Chain A
Amino acid sequence: MSSSAEVQYSPRAIRLARWRRASGKLWKEFAKQKGGVVGLIGLGIFIILAIFGPMLVSENATSVVEATGERMAPPGDGYIFGTDDRGRSVAELTILGTRVTLIIGMAAAFLGMIIGTTVGIISGHFEGKISWVLMRIAEWFMNLPTLVLAVVLVVIMGRGMLVMVIAIGVTSWAGTARVVRAQTRAVEGRPYMERAKALGAGHGHQMVRHVLPNVMPLVLASTIMAVAGAILTESTLAFLGLYDPASVSWGRMLNQAWSAGAMTAQAWWYILAPGLMILLVVLCFTLAGRALETALNPRLRK
């Protein structure tokens, strides 16, 4: 008993136990919210689709030469969601599009989170000029229409997945920065920060060891919701014709449906399939994000 008690007192074990307890509590709060659970299950399905999707569809789903279907044929006849203007299966393309859409959305949100958190913590920790300058930059990005800036970036840097991620990431971090800064200020006011300082902790130590762990849950929640925004931006950019030519994404499908005259031809399946997927994935991320935020923040609970 005593030896195990000793083990429990090692700092790592304490941290682990605390973390386990906290996450258990968090999950309990999260599970109380039905919407959040539904969102999470949805996300699971989307992630499975993204990983295994290419195995579910035929090998040449994107090939125009091998396309066997009629042009814009309605659902049925072996094509659950009809065909596109190239005679390919819309259902298969939609499944393939999941991966690109999710990767770009998540990577861009992740990039935005890193920039936003860094800027937020630094400007919250250092007062004065640095903080002022950083916040003005953040405000500048916040007031600039994200989409316009992203369009300009993609046009300048050329098309491609990485460019898309960068364009969306660097235009969407400002909100996170503000939230993190506020939280940093709150953490900085706590007594243990004063103790750490008295013990000689440098700026780096304070920010990374004390502030970061405390803002992390908040950051996580806001990142999950940022994914929803990033996917929307990605789809919009692709719809406007700035898609990555090497891959299929939902926004690109919508763009092609539009230019092929799917509206005029009343080929609703061609627009509905990718459109619905965008709607669902955004909904799932938003539901899960909101639920997580509520679980983390007691004030949001009823």
Chain B
Amino acid sequence: MANLKKMLAGGFTGALLLGTAAVPAVHADEDAEDNGAEVEEEVDSAEEVDSEDPDTLVIATNQSVEEWNPFNQIYVIEHAFRQLVYEPLVRVDAEDYSPTGGLAEDWDVSDDGLTWTYHLREGMTWHDGEPITAEDVEYTYHIIFNDPNLEVQYAAMIDLIEEIEVIDDLTVEFTLNRFDYGFEVTDEEILPKHIWEEHEGEWSDWANDEFPIIGSGPYQMVDFEVDTFIRYERFDDYFRGPAGFDEIVYQYYTEPDTSVAALESGEVDIVGGLNEAQIERLEGIDGIETNVAPDRRWMGLYFNTGSQTADGEEFGDAHDALQDSQVRQAIHHAIDRQTLIDNVLGGHADPATSMVPNVFSQIWWEPSEDERVDFDLEEANRILDDAGYPMGDNGVREDPDGEPLEFAIAIAPDATETEHVTEYLVEWLDEIGIDLEVIYSEDASAIFTDGDVEMFISGWGMQPNPIYNFQRNTCGVLPSEPGGTGTDVFYCNEEFDEAVAATQSEQDDDERLAAFHEAQRILYDDAPFVFLWYPYVREAYSDTKIDNIVTQPADEGAILGQTGPWAFHGAEPTGEEVGGVPTGVLWGAGGAAVLVGGLLVFFLIRRKQTAEDRE
């Protein structure tokens, strides 16, 4: 699991896999630098978080950072770290996810689509003042090509790139083996060569925990304490210009209600991942702005479509019936997305049709009237009857071998939404003669990838180009050993693989779009997943403290969890003092102060008098 990183952009898997961090508390002042200014900053950073400082942006979080090495990161909070600290050559913009310059100011591509030349911006430096050059770009790919641990993870990229050549300090040229649609926005963070070459050959084993971590982004990561806080400090020489806030602090709140209270009292400035009740409450409060908007994520029901290795060795003891697409389609018919969205998410989601969220409207696919699967328990029962799964005496169907259709779903404890969905699933499946057992486990995801349960609920955060997640469902990623983490549901369908390949290799725009649609249609039809919903972000922030919130996409989009540093780079302090203490309390405190002051004066006078009297 620890090797998935890329493009995950923090999936729900991450959110569900909350665990205790294995990273020890390390303070920045352990590694003193020769640079005087640096040392000063480090000393400064050891202080407590001052949430009332108008120049400190405080964000509530509850997810542990397990890795600082970008190659090993998989969680949402780690994704946020990379967006703040590192820059790729080209990234997607905040407006509508279209490509925009990162370290590269501009770039050109040859007519055959095989040679890409990137021109870096002039005068950029790393956080420690070293210049950023084409050598750094070349070295980043040197790591990817030479670290054996990264071989599987980057297989597609290694296969794609033929050669990387440094033309001069600011120009680097990539030669590809074939046309690839996704190459333009590779979103691979460029790492500082002068830091990483000290770990030649063992890059992915290095913890990258020498603080401050040297990157190129608008903030540098200076200090953290496990599950307590993470502190970023502004990098003044950032090439897009310095960010608004001096500091960004991620502060840990284990209970969502506590973080809401903290937002109300001004201890925290941005809170994400809210539930319906919290959004409703915060909507009515002055000085707090809520943000409910479509997101680039999907949530789905995963089926074990046949856990096997690449060599065809089957493993795990999940029921074989789910290898039959008829059974999966029947379950698809037995799920009422709209009810789930209304009751589990308070309406804050759109029904999902595929892996591609509807925010990526250019390639999103919607089933036609004929193709659409509607909630219909009778139809589901009919499909199962026809497919040869007769109803048994106890209300549970049997497969042709007489095995009852008894399935299990693994869910993680404390996953409130998943648990709620599961309650519905159990009842709906009961209606169509399928018995569903719920297994609670901290290792829910591992139980599923080991092939020991039939179902699992999870999802991913997507990038504009869904290729990474498409590829997770191609035959090529079936595991070499039992226990598959590279594949989502052990799916292998050559038709799908072909469509996926065409989405990247097709140079014609219309043909490529057709391939994107075809790939999504196959998944919907063959149902290795039932895509449940595209969740909305549910965030709130203090608008007395923050000016100029940038969402992605610009019109109705997310603040936290963006691809790129846009929200954090764009946010400006209003400069208003927000003690966060409600007016009532202030009056009360004022009154108390007056009273205490009065008493004090009274006693002082009295004492004075007695002292005088004594004379």
CA distance A228 to B313 in the complex (A): 54
From 72 to 92 in chain A, residues with beta carbon under 8 angstroms from any chain B beta carbon are 72, 85-87
Interface status of B476 (Cβ within 8 A of chain A): no
Q: Which of A65, A159, A267 meets B440, CB within 8 Å? A: A159
User: B422 to chain A: closest CB distance in Å?
Assistant: 9
User: B540 to chain A: closest CB distance in Å?
Assistant: 12
Q: Would you give the 0/1 interface string for B271-283, flagging 1 where the beta carbon is closer than 8 Å to chain A?
A: 0000111101100
From 310 to 369 in chain B, residues with beta carbon under 8 angstroms from any chain A beta carbon are 339, 343, 346
Find out whether the CB atom of A264 lies under 8 angstroms from the CB atom of B257: yes
User: B225 to chain A: closest CB distance in Å?
Assistant: 23
Q: Which of A72, A85, A260, A264 meets B281, CB within 8 Å? A: A264
Q: Which residues of B contact A261 (CB under 8 A)?
A: 256-257, 275-278
Number of cross-chain contacts by CB at 8 Å: 52
CA distance A245 to B409 in the complex (A): 13
User: A110 to chain B: closest CB distance in Å?
Assistant: 26
Interface status of A247 (Cβ within 8 A of chain B): no
Stretch in B51-59, B208-216, B235-243, B413-421 with 4+ CB within 8 Å of A = B413-421
With A64-B423, A71-B343, A241-B414 known to touch, is A260 a contact of B275 (CB < 8 Å)?
A: yes
Find out whether the CB atom of A265 lies under 8 angstroms from the CB atom of B280: yes
- A259's nearest neighbour on chain B, judged by CB, is B416
Q: Which residues of A contact B256 (CB under 8 A)?
A: 259, 261
Q: Which of A87, A159, A242, A260 meets B277, CB within 8 Å? A: A260
- B416's nearest neighbour on chain A, judged by CB, is A259
- B336's nearest neighbour on chain A, judged by CB, is A65
Q: Which of A65, A242, A265, A266 meets B428, CB within 8 Å? A: A65
Interface status of B424 (Cβ within 8 A of chain A): yes
Find out whether the CB atom of A65 lies under 8 angstroms from the CB atom of B420: no
With A241-B413, A241-B414, A263-B257 known to touch, is A65 a contact of B427 (CB < 8 Å)?
A: yes
B interface: dominant SS: helix
Find out whether the CB atom of A264 lies under 8 angstroms from the CB atom of B278: yes
Interface status of B522 (Cβ within 8 A of chain A): no
CA distance A23 to B438 in the complex (A): 49
Q: Which residues of B contact A264 (CB under 8 A)?
A: 257, 260, 277-278, 281
With A72-B277, A264-B277 known to touch, is A86 a contact of B420 (CB < 8 Å)?
A: yes
Interface status of A8 (Cβ within 8 A of chain B): no
Q: Which residues of A contact B260 (CB under 8 A)?
A: 264
User: B228 to chain A: closest CB distance in Å?
Assistant: 21
From 232 to 253 in chain A, residues with beta carbon under 8 angstroms from any chain B beta carbon are 241-242, 245
CA distance A260 to B423 in the complex (A): 15
Q: Which residues of A contact B277 (CB under 8 A)?
A: 72, 85, 260-262, 264-265, 267
CA distance A87 to B275 in the complex (A): 16
Q: Which residues of A contact B440 (CB under 8 A)?
A: 158-159, 245
From 138 to 161 in chain A, residues with beta carbon under 8 angstroms from any chain B beta carbon are 155, 158-159
Q: Which residues of B contact A87 (CB under 8 A)?
A: 343
CA distance A290 to B414 in the complex (A): 38
With A264-B257, A264-B277 known to touch, is A64 a contact of B424 (CB < 8 Å)?
A: yes
Q: Which residues of A contact B442 (CB under 8 A)?
A: 155
Q: Which residues of A contact B438 (CB under 8 A)?
A: 245
User: B539 to chain A: closest CB distance in Å?
Assistant: 15
Q: Which residues of B contact A241 (CB under 8 A)?
A: 413-414
What are 9 A-B interface contacts by the 8 Å CB criterion? A63-B427, A64-B343, A64-B420, A65-B339, A87-B343, A261-B278, A264-B278, A264-B281, A267-B277
Other 17 A-B pairs with CB < 8 A, given A65-B428, A155-B442: A72-B277, A85-B277, A86-B423, A87-B343, A242-B413, A258-B257, A259-B416, A260-B275, A260-B416, A261-B256, A261-B276, A262-B277, A264-B257, A264-B277, A264-B281, A265-B277, A267-B277
Q: Nearest 8 pairs between A and B by C-beta?
A: A261-B277, A265-B277, A259-B416, A65-B427, A64-B423, A261-B275, A264-B281, A264-B277
